[in-house]
Amino acid sequence: MHLPARIPILYLILGILVLASVVPMGFYANFVVDNNREALKVNEQLLQNEITRSLREDISQRQANLYTMLANFTTAVEVASGGNLVGDRVKSPQLESLLEKLVASSGDLPYATLFNTESRGVSAGRIQPDAFMGRELERAFQAARQGRAYNGEPLSVGSGVKARTLLLVSSPILANGHFSGMTAAFEDLQYLVDRLRTARQGGLVAYVVDRQGRLVAGATPEFATGQDMTGLEIVKNYVEQDGRVQFAPTMEFTANTSNGKMRMLGTYSVVPTLGWAIVAQKSQLDAYQGVYHMQHLAWKVAVLSVLVSMVMSIWAARGFTKPLDVLTATSQAIARGDFSRRVEVKSRTEVGQLAQTFNVMTGSLQTLVADLKRAADENRSLFLSSIQMLAGAVDEKDPYTRGHSDRVTRYSVMLAQELALPAEEIEKVRVAAQLHDVGKIGIEDRVLKKPGALTPEEYETMKAHTVKGANILRSVRQLTDVLPGIELHHESLDGRGYPYGLKSDEIPLLARIIMVADTFDAMTTNRPYQAAMDTEYVVRVINSLANTKFDPKVVQALTALFERGALTPPKAPPAPQAQAPEARQPEPDPPAPVLPSPAPEALSPHSAVVSS
């Protein structure tokens, strides 16, 4: 192949500008866009999963409260009637009063009734039952005759602004094992509609369907109770699974809308006691809007840069030999990521114009990179917010530790700063402390919320929350460095901690810091097994365990913070009343000596160093 003896300088300039400025910028922009695209997708999936999980917990808790209320009422009826509801005894003033108190005690119960074996009874409420409610009561009565509780189908009553969705719950009354009557109450699901409305944000829509895919409740007017939702792929997937999957992974699917087919992103969580699924979905256009914006902006800037480079090369075809050296050196600096460099060429010819134009282009690149970095910072903020939401969900499982994760995070960061750790290590401490109890998501409520003493088996179950937390988060690459703080924050210097019985330097500093902060918060807040202790007393107790249980350097940092008045535990509310004769055990930790306290009334019968 015959090569030309001379290559026009126009082509050389064009090639240099494109290769030295546009290509590096394109690679860098694509790299940032790809990373941020995955981060945005992960954050959107975490948000949808967290919303459905939160709604699931809310519904389950409300249903549990309703069952408890109805069971207590049934017991009260049995006691008041002596188990005899025959004839007009079911209409006694005492039973009518009990029924009215049941309805008045909850704004979610608009109607309740009591029947005997002859289908005679009394009722109370703010609404009049219609034919649909009557049929539900008949089904409940037949179930009660067989000794079974009954959960009805959602019913829509009323119209317009007065429209409500009701759910019937009933319980049989048994006297000496024989059917003697039935209690039933209709629950107003308006609370669920309100929760679904509050969950709407950034195009996200949430609704609830039953096991057949019929709508139970929705947040927007186009949703009607009983509407068949199986036309949506995500609902069809839930129906086909027949409730076997409790939490579905976030999935992409297509939905038919009034504007045609729309690509969606959604997930669902199942309420096992009701056979309902809470579905959250959002159009992919809304979900990935930030990603699309970054992609479009990067390509527009790249194309614009190419065009500008071509125009500049045409105008700078002559007399460029010496200035090109300067231009090349500057372009190489930009390729290395130094966008602060500018071309310093003083010329009133086309060379000077090219240098000025190139400087403008570099400024645009610098602005773009700054925007991309700002987007990355925003993504990090979203990531930390998701972590805080996850920690909040854990604290919400146990009412006695509400706010515990936030307080432990605050104390841990203060200790890390007092120890003069680098900023990067302080951030690891912040994330690990926020998530140190995330494993409690995997602890059954019967153990986590048990008011009485734990059995040895339950004791071991509670101890497993450290390993569970690490296993839950192990698949998240960004959290690899903080896993030791989550998994090892109950290890003790003397080897008497758990889960592995590590000693001394075997325990990372990250875990030692969280352990001291965790213990300090547990002792300065009310728990079911102890009252909040005086701060000065707690600091003395922790100091007494330095070198055996706690790292002496961390304890010294805690003491310094206390002496400066920087430690400000929350004002303790009245200690929660135990619901059983024996107070609940604290989480397993080695026993500790108890020092005399200047405020004895602040100590519980279990006055020992504990941690949540």
Q: Note the pLDDT of residue 607.
A: 35
Does 487 share its domain with 577?
yes
Lowest mean pLDDT among 192-201, 286-295, 481-490: 286-295
> How much is the pLDDT for 569?
80
Secondary structure of residue 178 in the 3-state scheme: strand
pLDDT (tens digit, 9 = 90+) per residue, 18-63? 666 656 666 666 666 677 767 777 777 788 888 888 888 888 888 8
Instruction: Specify if 368 maps to a domain.
Output: yes
pLDDT of residue 582: 41
Contacts 24+ apart (CB under 8 A), 162-167: 164/110, 164/188, 164/189, 164/190, 165/189, 165/190, 165/192, 165/193, 165/216, 165/217, 165/225, 166/110, 166/111, 166/133
- What was the pLDDT predicted at 556? 96
- Burial per residue of 126-153, b for 16 or more beta-carbon CB atoms within 10 angstroms, e otherwise: eeebeeebeebbeebbebbeeeebbbbb
Residue 22 confidence (pLDDT):
59
Confirm whether 462 is domain-assigned: yes
> Tokens representing 284?
């992919």
175 in the same domain as 152: yes
DSSP letter for each residue of 505-564 = GGS-HHHHHHHHHHHHHHHHS-BTTBPPPPHHHHHHHHHHTBTTTB-HHHHHHHHHHHHT
Contact indicator for 407, 491 with CB cutoff of 8 Å: no
Identify the domain containing residue 230 by its residue range.
Answer: 192-287
> What's residue 579's pLDDT?
40
Least confident span in 84-98, 296-310, 486-500: 296-310
What is residue 73's DSSP assignment? Answer: H
Identify whether residues 532 and 511 lie together within a single domain: yes
**pLDDT (average), residues 8-25:** 63
264 shares a domain with 296: no
Where is the domain boundary, 184, 218, 236? 184
Shortest CA distance to 103 belongs to which of 92, 90, 95, 112? Answer: 112
Instruction: Tabulate helix, strand, coil % of the chain (nearest 5).
Output: 55, 15, 30
Residues 276 and 318 in one domain: no
Contact 523, 538 (CB under 8 A): yes
Residue 50 forms part of a structural domain:
no
Grade residue 576 by pLDDT with cuts at 50, 70 and 90: very low
The pLDDT assigned to 310 comes to 62
Determine the pLDDT at residue 487: 92
Q: Per residue in 248-258, pLDDT tens?
A: 677 788 887 76
418 and 540 share one domain: yes
pLDDT confidence of residue 581: 37
CA distances from 488 to 299, 436, 508 (A): 47, 9, 8
Comparing 244 with 265, which gets the higher pLDDT?
265
Helices (H), 398-420: 404-418
Residue 393: inside a domain: no
- Exposed/middle/buried for residue 598 (C-beta within 10 Å: 0-12, 13-18, 19+): exposed
Q: Give residue 459's pLDDT.
A: 84
Percent of the chain with pLDDT over 90: 19
Q: Which residue has the higher pLDDT, 230 or 6?
A: 230
- Encoding tokens for residue 311? 């125009």
Most confident of 107-121, 278-292, 295-309, 357-371: 107-121
Residue where a domain terminates, one of 287, 312, 331: 287
Domain annotation covers residue 57: no
Asked whether residue 279 carries a pLDDT value surpassing 80, the answer given is: yes
Cβ atoms of residues 114 and 99 within 8 Å: yes
**Whether residues 245 and 305 fall in one domain:** no
Look at phi and psi of residue 90 and say left if phi exceeds 0, alpha if psi is from -120 to 50, else beta.
alpha
Query: Side by side, which strands form the sheet with 251-257?
Result: 215-218, 205-209, 276-283, 260-271, 251-257
Listed ranges 83-97, 390-404, 459-473; the one with the highest mean pLDDT:
459-473
112-116, 153-157, 272-276, 446-450: segment of lowest average pLDDT: 446-450
267 with 350, same domain: the answer is no
User: What's the CATH number where 530 sits?
Assistant: 1.10.3210.10
Kindly state whether residue 56 falls inside one of the protein's structural domains: no
pLDDT score of 304 more than 60:
yes
Residue 533 domain-assigned?
yes
- Number of compact structural domains in the chain: 4
Instruction: Identify the pLDDT of residue 44.
Output: 76
Same-domain check for residues 547 and 537: yes
Closest CA to 235 of 220, 222, 221, 248: 248
Measured between alpha carbons, how far is residue 261 from residues 257, 280, 334 in Å? Answer: 6, 18, 45
- Which segments of 144-219 are extended strands (E)? 150-151, 155-157, 164-175, 178-188, 205-209, 215-218
On whether both 435 and 583 belong to a single domain, the answer is yes
Q: What is the pLDDT of residue 203?
A: 76
- 388 domain-assigned: no
Whether the pLDDT of residue 602 is over 70: the answer is no
125 and 16 belong to one structural domain? no
Domain stops at, among 184, 201, 216: 184
State the average pLDDT for the chain.
Answer: 78
Listed in order, strand segments (DSSP E) in 224-316 are: 251-257, 260-271, 276-283
Side-chain half-sphere CA neighbours of 304 within 13 A: 14
Residue 9: band (very low, low, confident or very high) from pLDDT cuts 50, 70, 90? low
Q: Could you give the 3-state DSSP secondary structure of residue 500?
A: coil
pLDDT number for residue 598: 36
**Rounded to the nearest 10 degrees, how much is the dihedral formed by the CA atoms of 64, 69, 73, 76?**
100
Place of tokens 């107003």: 188
pLDDT in tens, 466-519: 998 889 888 888 888 999 999 999 999 999 999 999 999 999 999 999 999 999
CA dist., res. 74 & res. 59, Å (int): 22
Helix 552-563 with 509-524: angle, nearest 10 deg: 50
Q: How far is CA 496 from the centre of its chain?
A: 33
Peptide bond into 499 cis (omega under 30): yes
Q: Is residue 390 a contact partner of residue 438, using CB atoms and an 8 Å limit? A: yes
CATH code, domain with 86: 3.30.450.20
Q: Judge if 476 and 537 occupy the same domain.
A: yes
pLDDT of residue 42: 77
